[in-house]
Structure 1
Amino acid sequence: MHLIFSHGHLSSPDSHKIRTLAPLAEAAGLTTEAIDYRDLRDDAAGRVQRLCARLNGFSEPAVLVGSSMGGYVSVAAACRMPVRGLFLLAPAVYLNDRYPDAGLIEENYPVRCQAISVVHGWRDEVIPWHNARRFAEERRASLHLLDTDHRMADAMATISELFSLFLKNGLNRG
């Protein structure tokens, strides 16, 4: 099974989150990769196209992990094609004003995925935590609100535990 990481707006495929979570996925038997979107810094639609093109190369649905804008991109891709699971960190959902040219998906995000886990920080200064709550609630997804900010650097131990549980238990539900 394949797992694809999508980094945030000002991040990279070598982010601390990806470097921390990739070994956990690999230990669980998944093949991992992180797509580089740095040339598409402000182009949400271009990021979604790149991710969907990569997903089309697999014979089975992949697991998507996205942080911030990468979470939005993962959700948008999962609205277009089935995915095995979504693990979202501070996803930039319900922020259509930030992606006005994307024209990507309706406000209700009709994802084609059952295994969804959302992690967000109470102190997120970039994306309101209640957006993550709304997204999770509407999909009956797992939601974990942590005492952390948008970068989540101080919560990586907890996020790693949640990710491992998602890989072990959550994907079996989806």
Structure 2
Amino acid sequence: MTLPADAADLVCFAHGKESGPWGLKITRLADVARQQGFEVMSPDYRQTQNPDERVAMLVALRPRARRLVLAGSSMGGYVSAMACAALRPQALFLMAPALYFPGWDAEPEGIPALCSTVHGLRDDIVPAERSLRFAKTHGAELHLIDAEHTLNARIDLIAALFADLLQRVRAS
């Protein structure tokens, strides 16, 4: 994957275990990012189901920008959160992040002050309590919404929350 040359503002997405780099949520959020002047990238992690290998892949890409935003859904949320220590993004946007599972339950480090987490109250894959734990530990915003794990039924709300985060990144 080639990165935009000298991007001033870049959003790097990380897809979930069962999805791909340009699923419904990422495609919609990428449009939101582009409308606000951000470059976007969404690496393909489907060659491995190991979350820590995915973190290593993202870190190896070394996405750089004056203002870097990491965004991830489910396992991609884990990947984005765990990459923060190495990549030092200005903001982090997590959707139903698959944090604190046995075997990959390390506490993420380097979480930026601008951090927003969205989780569905009817999520039967990743319990919403995991996002609550993350938000409490890292002082992150937490939006608990009436949705299932995919959050696709609430894509308009998620897009609005993401747009708000990007506006705050641009203002910082």
TM-score scaled by length of structure 1? 0.88
Work out which of the residue numbers 85, 90, 95 in structure 2 matches 1:79. 85
Distance 2:20 2:63 in 1: 22
The reply on whether 1:37 has 2:36 as its aligned counterpart is no
Runs (5+) with no aligned partner, structure 1: none
Q: How many residues align?
A: 164
The reply on whether 1:53 has 2:60 as its aligned counterpart is yes
Q: Is the 8 A contact 2:13 2:72 kept in 1?
A: yes
Q: Is the 8 A contact 2:58 2:83 kept in 1?
A: yes
> What letter matches 2:161 in structure 1?
L
Work out which of the residue numbers 26, 29, 36 in structure 2 matches 1:28. 36
Q: How does 1:1-174 map to 2 (within 5 A)?
A: 1-40=9-48, 42-54=49-61, 56-58=62-64, 60=66, 62-95=68-101, 97=102, 100=103, 107-169=106-168, 172=171
Deviations 1:79-133 (A, max 9, x none): 23311110000001111x1xx2x6xxx7332224211000000000000101101
Runs (5+) with no aligned partner, structure 2: 1-8
Is the alpha carbon distance of 1:3 and 1:112 closer, same or farther for their aligned partners in structure 2, counting shifts above 3 Å?
A: same
Q: Is the 8 A contact 1:115 1:171 kept in 2?
A: no
Is the alpha carbon distance of 1:112 and 1:153 closer, same or farther for their aligned partners in structure 2, counting shifts above 3 Å?
A: closer
Q: Is the 8 A contact 2:90 2:169 kept in 1?
A: no
Moved more, 149-158 or 162-171: 162-171
Q: Is the 8 A contact 1:62 1:83 kept in 2?
A: yes
Deviations 1:47-97 (A, max 9, x none): 11110111x2525452100000000000110023311110000001111x1
Is the alpha carbon distance of 1:123 and 1:9 closer, same or farther for their aligned partners in structure 2, counting shifts above 3 Å?
A: same
Is the alpha carbon distance of 1:89 and 1:112 closer, same or farther for their aligned partners in structure 2, counting shifts above 3 Å?
A: closer
Is the alpha carbon distance of 1:127 and 1:171 closer, same or farther for their aligned partners in structure 2, counting shifts above 3 Å?
A: farther
Distance 2:26 2:141 in 1: 20
What RMSD in Å do the two structures reach over aligned CA positions?
1.7
Distance 1:87 1:29 in 2: 17
Deviations 1:11-58 (A, max 9, x none): 001200011110100111110011100111x1112111110111x252
